[in-house]
Amino acid sequence: MTMTENKQGVLEALAAKSKNLRYVEQAEQGVIAPGVLAELLGIRPQMVYNYMSKGKIKNVTSTVTQKKVIALEDAEAFAAGYLARKEEREADEVETTE
């Protein structure tokens, strides 16, 4: 399995757990809305928009709706990094409480 295939599985797995149909529809177009990404990661949408405004998540303008969306590849990379950092923080918390 390549690194790209591994990253793509992150959001698909989260969407499958939450049964998020909006993700499936958007993934077919190769994009994801910031609100959907936030919902899948269990974070506030403001956090995703903040990362977008700082350029940490690249956004594109949808030709259909003229709204800002995130390319699926960029969303996958962000989600994988976010979840890895979250897992690391949780592991550190467990070590400090022991």
Please name the residue that has the structure tokens 């969306």: 69
For 15-69, the pLDDT digits (tens) are 888 888 889 888 888 899 999 999 999 999 999 999 999 999 998 887 776 788 9
Say if residue 3's pLDDT is above 70. no
Higher per-residue confidence, 97 vs 27:
27
Give the pLDDT of residue 75.
Answer: 94
Give the mean pLDDT of 73-80.
93
Residue 70 structure tokens:
């995130």
pTM over cut 0.85:
no
**Element holding 70 (H helix, E strand):** strand 68-71
Reported as a pLDDT band with limits 50, 70 and 90, residue 95 is: confident
